[in-house]
Structure formats: structure tokens, C-alpha cells
Amino acid sequence: MITSAVSRRYAQALLMIATEKKGLDQFEEELEGFQSSLMGNPQVKDFMDNPRILAKKKKEVLDSLINGKASPIVSNFLHLIIDKRREAFYMDIISDYKKYADEARNIIDAEVRSAVELTDKDFRGLQQNLSKATGKNVRLKSIIDTSIIGGITVKVGDTVMDGSVTKKLSLLKNKLQQLQLEGIEVKK
């Protein structure tokens, strides 16, 4: 996802405050709660995104959404976004904040795809090996994908490690085709 410089700046600013106040997790939970409230009601989201509605009205709606669910810092932060007419960036700001918070906690997301469900022991072992290899705490998500026939594929960031049977068969096929072409003599 490509995010704007605006959302990154707001997210980084809140992250700096969260780090200083030792509220990294708390702020993330509060932002997620606001995000859920906003996404759970498309009419409210449209209302907040509408540039013709006065900031005062938007703040009233915002306060009703986060009433008692957000700290004064997060509440003021969300109000500031309205004051600066950046409400359209709410979702991007929250997404960027989560990404930066994970970086601050030294967490990276990874995904493992397998034809069958991994045992708990295999899952934990893979998670530990990925943590050692990356030097980060790995948050591993497991997905069942029968199209890979057997084996696993692991995606960490932009890196994909493909140990699936489908990939191995594809490599074998390419190798056999290459051997067949080398075995044919062409006469001029």
C-alpha cells in the first residue's frame, strides 16, 4: 500500500509522543477502536470524509465514537486531524502508526502457506527460525493453500522462500526441457 507523506508524518508524530509517554500499545488499541467504529458505520465514515461539514460537527461525532475509549492524547490527536482538514487520511494514518509501532517493537509480519495445517511444534519452530534469521520478533500467520501440493512457502516482507512441491516440479520441468534442447543437434 502506498501511503502519503501526510499520513506518515502524522503517524510518526504520534509515535514519538507514544514512545515518550510509554503508550505505544495503548495508543494503537485506541486507534484500532476508533478505526473499528468508523469502519463499522459507513455513514459515519462518509460524514467524516465530507469536506463540506463543519469541523465542530465532526468533532461532536468523533467524541461520541471515542467517548471514554481514548486517552486525552489520542482524542486531541484525532481532533487535530479534523482541525487540519486531514480526515480523509484517518485510515492511512492508523495503518502507518501500526507499521511504525511494530518497527519500534522490533516486530515483523510473516506468512507461511502450506498444503496442510502445520503442527504447533512445526509452527513454533518455523517462527523461532525466522526470528533468528531476521533478528526480529516474527508475527507468523499460517494459511492453508492446497494449490502448492506439499511443502511450504514463507513470505517475510518482500522476500519469498518457496519450498513447495509445485515450485520444485516447475524447476524440474524447466531443467528437463533445457536438457532436451541441448540433446538436439541442429544441422545447417
**Whole-number CA gyration radius for the chain:** 24
| Distance separating alpha carbons of residues 44 and 82, to the nearest angstrom | 14
pLDDT for 184? 62
Q: Which among 95, 71, 93 is positioned nearest to 23, based on CA atoms?
A: 71
Place of cell 492446497: 146
- Collect all residues with Cβ–Cβ distance below 8 Å to 56 and sequence separation of at least 6: none
What whole-number distance in Å separates Cα of residue 31 and Cα of residue 70? 8
Domain span(s) for CATH 1.10.520.20 in the chain = 5-103
Q: Cell triple for residue 91?
A: 485510515
- What is the per-residue pLDDT for 166? 79
Instruction: Tell me the average pLDDT across 74-93.
Output: 94
pLDDT value of position 1: 45
Rounded to 10 deg, the angle between the 72-83 and 90-104 helix axes is 140
Q: Mind listing the pLDDT tens digit for each residue in 116-131?
A: 998 999 999 999 999 9
- pTM of the complete model: 0.75
CA distances from 154 to 17, 32, 127 (A): 35, 27, 11
Domain 5-103, second-level architecture: Orthogonal Bundle (1.10)
Residue-level pLDDT at 85: 93
Q: Where are the alpha helices (DSSP H) in 41-119?
A: 42-49, 55-66, 72-83, 90-104
Phi-psi region of 166 (alpha: psi -120 to 50; beta: other; left: phi over 0): alpha
